[in-house]
């Protein structure tokens, strides 16, 4: 799949943030195609590369023996020249509370689609703002990956919250074999489950988050089937709550929320429940946040994939565009009057 052709991408396209960087670098590593990304985060208040983006790029580069030009804070363009992905066991420290789940969105495709396996210990943030919580990743994302044929296992050894971080996650990624296309258009949504956790705080914090979420769902006519609270290890205080409805063959929908200083626990629970209710009643099989995470794998399946997503986000359209540039796949988004959409991806 290697090529000497250099792909040039405009980093301000679509969502114009870290997503286009992570997906481009991951697919560059898989396809062994050099990529140049310009206008990095040009529309943002603090344009250019930030530390968390540099951490992700360095991680992928270390896995595939890549060379990277202009990798520095504030850089508005970089060149990534991938080598061959190697099976390895490494330790990656993102720094402070940099999101581990955002890093995994790039690492898992780049390793598994390269037909190698890796074991990693990643240090950073497990439950931080503007990224999926670790519970969302393990309970929603990984089951969807398994349906495709992607085998990745995570063990959370310690939680990491903003701003200190210090979370530790062990990751085992197996090489992918033949990937199965998705056909997730209609299914009966099982009753949801709730997980509410806290660290370095009284268990009552997790219980209050849980109660508020359950009360909100009850008002919407939704009754959770399983609910659990717990206190987990961390080096700084924090909390999160996840509500999810997942079946072996779909749906894969979830919603989470993060506790913050000065934010009442009840607000955290209601925030997650409100978002989950919107996803649940849409009758989509893929939630708005998961849709873009599936895209990097779909051009490598045997056949056409189709899935119903609750809402089309800029992250989804960006990833579809980037995947089509690298793999020449064809894609279509058929929007429904209710705001849901049928997304199809076909490898040509």
Catalytic residue among 123, 315, 326, 329: 315
Is residue 107 a contact partner of residue 173, using CB atoms and an 8 Å limit? yes
Sheet harboring 67-69: ordered strands across?
A: 7-10, 35-38, 78-81, 67-69
Taken in order 265, 235, 103, 261, the sign of the CA dihedral is positive
Whole-angstrom distance, CA of residue 221 vs CA of residue 318:
35
Residue 130's Cβ-count burial label (10 Å; 0-12, 13-18, 19+) is: exposed
Q: Which two tokens stand for residue 76?
A: 């508005």
SS3 285: coil
* Strand, helix or coil for residue 151: coil
Active site residue 315: yes
SS3 at position 199? strand
Rounded distance between C-alpha atoms, residue 323 and residue 293, angstroms? 12
- Given a contact cutoff of 8 angstroms between Cβ atoms, the answer to whether 304 and 346 are in contact is yes
The rounded distance, in Å, linking the Cα atoms of 254 and 245 is 6
Contact yes or no for 191/224 (Cβ under 8 A): yes
Just list the catalytic residues: 315
């Amino acid at each position: 799949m290697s090529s000497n052709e250099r792909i040039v991408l405009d980093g301000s396209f679509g969502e114009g943030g870290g997503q286009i960087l992570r997906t481009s670098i991951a697919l560059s590593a898989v396809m062994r195609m050099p990529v140049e990304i310009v206008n990095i985060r040009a529309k943002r208040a603090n344009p250019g590369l930030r530390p968390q983006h540099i951490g992700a790029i360095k991680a992928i580069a270390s896995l595939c023996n890549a060379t990277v030009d202009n990798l520095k804070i504030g850089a508005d363009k970089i060149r990534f020249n991938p080598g061959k992905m190697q099976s390895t066991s490494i330790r990656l420290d993102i720094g402070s509370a940099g999101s581990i789940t955002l890093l995994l969105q790039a690492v898992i495709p780049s390793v598994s689609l390269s037909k190698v396996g890796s074991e990693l210990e990643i240090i950073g943030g497990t439950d931080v703002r503007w990224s999926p919580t670790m519970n969302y990743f393990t309970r929603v994302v990984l089951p969807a990956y398994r349906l495709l044929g992607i085998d990745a296992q995570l063990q959370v050894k310690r939680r990491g919250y903003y701003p200190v971080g210090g979370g530790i996650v062990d990751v085992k990624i197996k090489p992918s074999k033949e990937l199965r296309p998705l056909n997730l258009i209609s299914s009966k949504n099982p009753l949801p489950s709730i997980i509410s956790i806290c660290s370095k705080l009284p268990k009552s914090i997790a219980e209050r988050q849980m109660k508020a979420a359950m009360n909100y769902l009850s008002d919407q006519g939704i009754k959770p089937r399983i609910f659990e609270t717990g206190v987990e290890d961390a080096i700084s205080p924090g909390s999160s709550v996840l509500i999810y409805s997942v079946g072996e063959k779909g749906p894969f929908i979830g919603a989470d929320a993060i506790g913050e200083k000065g934010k009442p626990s009840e607000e955290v629970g209601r925030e997650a429940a409100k978002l989950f209710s919107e996803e649940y009643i849409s009758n989509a099989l893929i939630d708005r946040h998961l849709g873009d995470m599936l895209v990097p794998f779909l051009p490598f399946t045997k056949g056409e994939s189709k899935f119903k997503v609750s809402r089309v986000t800029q992250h989804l359209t960006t990833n579809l565009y980037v995947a089509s540039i690298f793999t020449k796949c064809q894609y279509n988004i058929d929007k429904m009057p209710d705001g849901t959409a049928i997304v199809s991806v076909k490898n040509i």
